Structure 1
Amino acid sequence: MIRCFVSLFFCALTISSLAAQDVTWLAEVNTPPKELSTSGQAGRPAMVGLEAWQQERSRLRDQWKTFLGAYSFPELPLQMETIKQERLEHCTRRLVRYQAEPGRMVRAYLLIPHDPADAKLPAIVAFHGTSTGTFDKLVGLDAEPARHMGLRLAEHGFLVICPENYLWEQNNYKASTTAALKNHPGSKGMAVMLADGMRAVDVLLSLDAVDPQRIGTYGHSLGAKEALYLAAMDDRICAAVASEGGIEIGFSNWDAVWYLGSDVKQEGFPRKHAELVSLIAGRPFLILGGETGRGCADGERSWPALHVGQEVWRAYYPEPVQLGLLNHGQGHALPWDAGEKVIDWLDAYVADRTSE
């Protein structure tokens, strides 16, 4: 266990220095509002010694895993098969199916760049938003080109996996949650999403073309929630972007049964998503917010939770702090220019990252 803590600390301590070059606009997103007070912030870990923080970090993660009823099946054979594929201009778009857990298969698209410049490719787990077409928009099979982020990332040289969320496995979200949790009594819907996200990383690591030191994650809305949890709970993720997911529990419908359930609304509920941000600290994490409008989940109100992670970063990890908020102010959307910033971020902190 001590060896595990030392390994985690070394990885987190060195990771900020592994980027070849920071994004040029880092100061625009990592500078909190002047009026932000750090006193009495819920979810802020106590500032302790380095070794003690690693133990605290492990304890926080275990508490979240216990609450979620988290599970994973890393040794389970993938049994991956190709359903169909097509060659596009910059990549091959391959629909696959693999075993996520015993008896349950998940579909995903793999976007594999043509003629890669590197022997090993950087990779992204890209999560889709709430849509009847599930991952179609993400991989370029539906309208709204700005939301084709999986395809856009593949065009920039990333090998991308876009898993399909479990919520569409049955007729409605509640039925899908009931079915998915049948073999996991006591688990939350978010535990399924986390397990599926970790399984997507397993798929990437099974591919010879993927660099295991350069795996990031991205998601919008529903997908942002998955990206947040995957980055917080899986150290194989070296950088993340969460667009309009609602960083704190009160910002979105986190109480839905397919996410965390009604426990989060009970008086005295002890967990805060600021703790998840603190678990990510040491690895680059960008929140995209739209500020106002129907369904808008993030914006300036996201700063207190994000600032908790910044405090942890500054206490234990080298500068600069690569945790920030890009507030585009255009509601619950992903404007094209904001998507370009997402690509910049993942280029800098995943693709251009130097392996240990």
Structure 2
Amino acid sequence: MARSVARSISRHPDRRQFLTAASAVGCVSVFAPSTWAEGSANKEVSWLAETQQRPEKLPADAKSFPSLLVDKAGQPIRTVAAWQERRKELLAQWQEFLGAMPAKRDPSKPPQVKVLEADTVGNVTRQRVEYEVEPGLVTEAYICRPTELTGTTSGVVCFHSTVEHSIRQPAGLGKDVQKAFGLKFAQQGRIVFSPRCFAWPANDKMAVQEETRKYLARVPKSLGMAKMLYDSLVAVDILAKLPGVDPERLGAVGHSLGAKEVLYLAAFDERIKVTVSSEGGVGLKFSNWNAPWYLGTAIDEPGFPHDHHELLACVAPRPFLLVGGESADGDRGWPYIAAALPAYHLSDPTARLGQFNHRQGHAVPPIAEERIEEWFRTYL
């Protein structure tokens, strides 16, 4: 079994080659200790404890995980410093599995954005922009910002779900207004950058199979999720440099497809201080993670050694809320939260990690909207 998994991973660069490449493209957070926004330690959502309670009855197929707080020598991890070493190892393993990044990037010199069109919606200026996500490869995004902003404010990168109209959804230009996080967050005083996923060659055209085929042909020692992670990092590079954005107060939010993207982004990029992941399917078996535009079929092989509780733990101690509705996420996600909480508790007894289950399917009902907004208002 181990050999079959090894074959699926061996097509990627070896660990030394990968870490060299990862450092070159700016995934430096693997080597940096976590920090959390100063001044927020005594400010909590009133329902935090609810998100950390084990469901009364777990599904029969709920997983259980061994402790992550064990070092290479098999010794218990009891300090933040020791956990940081373990975190480096976990992220390096995940990076090696994800494979090559599509290009190098310099976070201090993000791509220039060109405004294609702009309008005003109440107190928000909404801009459709284009930029080179890779050298010679242009994509689009929406920027929503408070029109009358003075000084600086928090910035949020917002990822659309699997809908034909892509970035028009978070910008408030789709029918699914409950997922218009870009527009709503700007109305509440934040600056939001909503990038288009690589599987959309145009804002109103989804071509997941074809765009994935083209990407994997161009970067064969890679996975689709590596491309999504790279594009997410570039989005944060741009967001952090936008006028009016406080680069120390950055967050990420996404639903469905977007929820998957924010999980990886939060784990790998410590600039992201607050995250909400809604109905993405935190477990590798919860949704279509084995699709070629995500992780591929290697994760289905017997003995595959990883799951996403590791990435959740790597976010610690930064606030992360998992939102489920008993579709992609729900009660069966509790073991993932439980496995990651000890890493959070090393830094602070008040772990800002939890799961809110609204039990209303693959949607963002009003109660979920309220809690997502409160999570950001409290911690960002």
Is TM (by shorter chain) over 0.5? yes
Identify which of 312, 325, 339 aligns with 1:277: 312
Identify which of 34, 52, 65 aligns with 1:41: 65
Aligned to 2:161: 129
- Amino acid in the other structure paired with 1:94: Q
Query: Closer, same or farther in 2 for the Cα pair 1:103/1:341, shift >3 Å?
Result: same
3-state SS of 1:246 partner: coil
Structure 2 residue 374 is matched with structure 1 residue 344:
yes
Q: Distance in 1 between matches of 2:375 and 2:152?
A: 19
Query: Closer, same or farther in 2 for the Cα pair 1:158/1:5, shift >3 Å?
Result: closer
In the TM superposition, what whole-angstrom CA distance separates every residue of 1:318-347 from its partner, at most 9, and x where no partner exists?
Answer: 121110111000001111221121011011
Identify which of 275, 286, 291 aligns with 1:256: 291
Q: Distance in 2 between matches of 1:79 and 1:22?
A: 37
3-state SS of 1:250 partner: coil
Contact 1:73–1:199 (Cα < 8 Å) also in 2: no
* Greater shift in the superposed pair: 78-87 or 243-252: 78-87
In the TM superposition, what whole-angstrom CA distance separates every residue of 1:213-243 from its partner, at most 9, and x where no partner exists?
Answer: 1000000000000010100111110010000
What is the correspondence of 1:193-272 to structure 2 with a 5 Å cutoff? 193-272=228-307
- Amino acid in the other structure paired with 2:68: R
In the TM superposition, what whole-angstrom CA distance separates every residue of 1:268-307 from its partner, at most 9, and x where no partner exists?
Answer: 111111100110120100011101xxxx100010000111
Size of the alignment, in residue pairs?
A: 339
Percent sequence identity over matched residues? Answer: 38
Aligned to 1:143: 175
Q: Distance in 2 between matches of 1:147 and 1:103?
A: 31
Unpaired segments ≥5 residues, structure 2: 1-27, 71-75
3-state SS of 1:193 partner: helix
TM-score, scaled relative to structure 2: 0.83
Aligned to 1:354: none
The RMSD of aligned alpha carbons is: 2.4
Unpaired segments ≥5 residues, structure 1: 351-356
TM-score, scaled relative to structure 1: 0.89
Q: Distance in 1 between matches of 2:320 and 2:94?
A: 19
Identify which of 271, 294, 297 aligns with 2:328: 297
Q: Distance in 2 between matches of 1:263 and 1:22?
A: 40
Structure 2 residue 111 is matched with structure 1 residue 87:
no
- Large movers: runs of 4+ above 4 Å: 4-7, 14-17
Identify which of 39, 43, 57 aligns with 2:87: 57
Query: Closer, same or farther in 2 for the Cα pair 1:97/1:164, shift >3 Å?
Result: same
Q: Distance in 2 between matches of 1:151 and 1:44?
A: 38
- Amino acid in the other structure paired with 1:88: V
